[in-house]
Structure 1
């Protein structure tokens, strides 16, 4: 079994299996020879008790012994193979002589041990075995010529020997090539296992979640980060995204991505943003019990030879953690300024505002009025920014009492529409029934006024262009949706939407949405901007963005 280079464990095991197959073939040949002796009455009568019968019986016993030794003692492969091939040549030679030489046709049996030696032994040993068999055939023919003075078929003996050499050469070359291919496959398999182990370590260690799903949304596997983001307990078992109500946003985003053609093997450049709400599951899908997770999704199709085996990789990034880190960095640098803002900025600002009001009483020209209005507007803007910054330094203590949404929203709509001069039907309030939530009424009013103020900048002012309506999520929590018919927020802006001092408006301070979210957190609720999928034209599902307040503890109404 030794070759120029050491064989792998897989190849050595293959050699031992091949040697055992050779033993089984040897047993079959010995049994066939004995059966031939039994069923041929004429031959049996003439040679019962002769060398032929004794050789067949001895050959069968040795074949069984070889099979037992090979099974129980897998050592010294070449010694076992060499002794077996030697016994084969001796037994076949005795049968050949006793059956009448070349005319008996038993010379073909030499192919069996020589083919085995060509496959399992080095070329030199296989050729040596072929040479022994050929020399025996030629010697037997010469012996017939000298002793019995008959003309033996020397040419046939020579051709048989040449055929034996040819078989050995062909089988040995083919076996060497197959062994090389097996060794290459074994090395590639080892490299693949190592690479797979490295990939598993890397994938398990990354912070981004990775899900492998089928075309129908069936989840095959996921790394620990994905299981943590989705609240899955233990190993990811087979399930479909649509089976869990809380995962419906992921399933809808996935279905929307499938409708758009993409190149295989490349992650989508246009991410989708979804929110996974708290949910309760069972078994391996225990359920997420903490705060909602805002996830950024990217999809990539895996190249597969068969569409039935198609796999898609979903990359998930917890945007909530990134937003929190960005907020902490900004707030840390801003905290050093908060203490001095009241005296260093607020007092001069009050003086400027007071002087502007006095000038407005004396100057009545259109140019002066326009300039004073510019000064007054910017003073109000800076003063509002100062107030917002000062609010960041002190946590608002909530007075969480049950709030009846139906009454609260009706009063808020009337007050807000009157303050901003809005048409009566511009703000639409959905049916809230008798639902109650536990939230500080003043804080909830401030949050909704902030959201509605943003909405009127982009709404068309048509009937029901601004919509406020409650819903219940999969876990039974009450959600309050604030939506307008203006252009939705792009995913790029959404990634920074709740960061302090981030704004897309020249008149904004970048603190309104941040403060609104902080007020919600103080009251045990969550404010987020979500993309929900709704039935659009021609039955297609269109993504629609809206602000969603999720109240932590539903109160039965």
Structure 2
């Protein structure tokens, strides 16, 4: 056992002083009990006419009070104070022991109090020395009784001394073990505190967001980067993900990961401006109210086996800047492509268009005229696409006049079904009544046709397998959803979906979705691929989340008509 306090930690030294205070409190109680006992035995025990029982108890009580004050106001030289107090205890108890008549008085039990304190607070050698002195004193007193009175109490005194030595050894070993455990706990506490400080520093300076969740999606903690990405700066983080409308995509991804732990990564789009509770939280979000945060979310379960709790961590990475950077890196090649299109494509298109006009003068049958009209229409469409690409490179301002979506979409769907020879009701249109938006009609035509061409490629072809419907978000912005019943886009493809020249089809150019998004941005709108809950409930009452392309227009209609829920 460590004898000197300076070899221990501050917490262990404080424990030793508290134990000494407890010892002093116990000493006061013993002195009071002895005085109470005296009140029932008024004989005034004496030895040789010198030591009076009551006076000894009063002196003991006074010394106990002095020792108690010293341990509170003079915390210096711990071992010296302890030895002085134990020596006083042994002297007083020995006087009372002699005054009461020796071992037969039963006062020998009082020796356990100072000896146990010595065994707890002092080294084993000092504790054994004190117990040996007590045993020798008791044996000497018994020997004197044999000589003077012939009283045979030697055996009882020897057994008591042996018991005292055994108690000292056991108590000292137990105290040493407890002190060692406390030292270990203190060191572990310091290590944990340092580790927590390092973790807080790392989390506060990480550019990636970290969100700690409970088993039910309860947000428990998040670093500043996560709060910035999710628009939660200055907000209380004690809430459930599903309770925040703006964080619904992240809550859906978390639930899907819980259902299938193999899906560790998901790409979500967060729109903090959609949640009225988050309006005006930070200048960063108020400056980009028309934009959304495209986040890569990676889920991981914390190993808390045996602790009775479950924790999950979401690592968030804002891929918006990465996507923009990737697109900027490819804009140089896009510039070369547009120059090539201007010189190599427009001239052949002009020749094809001129030849079509000449043929129309010589071919008069309805079938021939219809074929020539199809050729002419597609030449005009390709020429318009070339113009759009050139506009993207020159950032030409589009003619975004007010456009009625109901008539525009109905005409577009009818033309699309006829062109692709689709069965009736394959493309289902809804929710577009009396909705006005500001978007260049030709640009919107190219965007929607591009999305419908993608949908018809993967849809089943059944009635309603392709859905085209208009809804309003929580801030009354108009959204056009294009959805099919085919397989959703994987997270790997989603991360590159709107990059130029990226395609998963051997026949594609990888420009369709990129041009569609750029056309939307030119019209102050936004195109994105999102996962949302379907409005139709499943047989078990739940709703299935599915992917869809969402066009968010710059302005919402003043008086929206009936619409399906998001």
Length-normalised TM-score, structure 2: 0.83
1:484 corresponds to: 484
1:555 corresponds to: 557
Shift of 1:106: 1.0
Shift of 1:392: 4.3
1:157 corresponds to: 157
Are 2:128 and 1:127 equivalent residues in the alignment? yes
Q: 1:44 to 1:453 in 2, by over 3 A?
A: same
1:299-336 alpha-carbon deviations (Å, 9 max, x no partner): 333344579732222233333233223222323x5267
SS at match of 2:507: coil
Shift of 1:41: 4.3
SS at match of 2:268: strand
Q: 2 CA distance for matches of 1:472 and 1:385?
A: 30
SS at match of 1:524: coil
Q: 1 CA distance for matches of 2:400 and 2:343?
A: 35
Where do 1:112-191 residues align within 5 Å?
A: 112-146=113-147, 148=148, 150-191=150-191
Shift of 1:482: 0.5
1:504-537 alpha-carbon deviations (Å, 9 max, x no partner): 1122111111121122223332211112233334
Deviates more, 1:14-23 or 1:414-423: 414-423
2:336 corresponds to: 337
Q: 1:68 to 1:106 in 2, by over 3 A?
A: same
Q: 1:329 to 1:395 in 2, by over 3 A?
A: same
Shift of 1:418: 4.0
SS at match of 2:479: strand
Q: 2 CA distance for matches of 1:518 and 1:335?
A: 13
Where do 1:35-434 residues align within 5 Å?
A: 35-42=36-43, 51-146=52-147, 148=148, 150-234=150-234, 236-260=236-260, 262=261, 268-277=262-271, 278-282=273-277, 286=281, 289=286, 290=289, 291-304=291-304, 309-331=309-331, 333-334=332-333, 337=336, 341=340, 390-434=390-434
Q: 1:48 to 1:408 in 2, by over 3 A?
A: farther
Check the 8 A contact 2:47/2:98 in 1, yes or no: no
Shift of 1:79: 1.8
1:365 corresponds to: none
Check the 8 A contact 1:229/1:318 in 2, yes or no: yes
SS at match of 1:554: coil
SS at match of 1:63: helix
Q: 2 CA distance for matches of 1:3 and 1:75?
A: 12
1:23 corresponds to: 24
Q: 1:167 to 1:235 in 2, by over 3 A?
A: farther
Shift of 1:15: 1.2
List runs of 5+ in structure 2 lacking aligned partners: 360-378, 560-566
Q: 1:37 to 1:391 in 2, by over 3 A?
A: same
Q: 2 CA distance for matches of 1:177 and 1:526?
A: 68
Q: 2 CA distance for matches of 1:284 and 1:54?
A: 81
Q: 1 CA distance for matches of 2:6 and 2:351?
A: 91
SS at match of 2:464: coil
SS at match of 1:549: strand
Shift of 1:42: 4.9
CA RMSD, 1 decimal = 3.5
Check the 8 A contact 1:236/1:284 in 2, yes or no: no
Q: 2 CA distance for matches of 1:79 and 1:197?
A: 39
1:265 corresponds to: none
Check the 8 A contact 2:529/2:548 in 1, yes or no: yes
Are 2:541 and 1:546 equivalent residues in the alignment? no
Length-normalised TM-score, structure 1: 0.85
Shift of 1:276: 1.7
Check the 8 A contact 1:300/1:312 in 2, yes or no: yes
1:89-130 alpha-carbon deviations (Å, 9 max, x no partner): 111111111111111111111111111111111112212222
1:451 corresponds to: 451
Are 2:530 and 1:530 equivalent residues in the alignment? yes
Shift of 1:551: 2.4
Deviates more, 1:424-433 or 1:497-506: 424-433
Check the 8 A contact 2:392/2:519 in 1, yes or no: no
1:225-245 alpha-carbon deviations (Å, 9 max, x no partner): 221121002264311122222
Q: 2 CA distance for matches of 1:283 and 1:532?
A: 20
Q: 2 CA distance for matches of 1:284 and 1:79?
A: 68
Check the 8 A contact 1:477/1:553 in 2, yes or no: yes
Q: 1:382 to 1:433 in 2, by over 3 A?
A: closer
Check the 8 A contact 1:235/1:284 in 2, yes or no: no
1:370 corresponds to: none
SS at match of 2:544: strand
Q: 2 CA distance for matches of 1:492 and 1:276?
A: 18
Q: 2 CA distance for matches of 1:339 and 1:417?
A: 31
Shift of 1:30: 1.0
Check the 8 A contact 2:265/2:296 in 1, yes or no: yes
Shift of 1:216: 2.2
Shift of 1:340: 5.7
Shift of 1:193: 1.5
List runs of 5+ in structure 1 lacking aligned partners: 263-267, 361-378
Q: 2 CA distance for matches of 1:140 and 1:505?
A: 107
Q: 2 CA distance for matches of 1:507 and 1:47?
A: 121
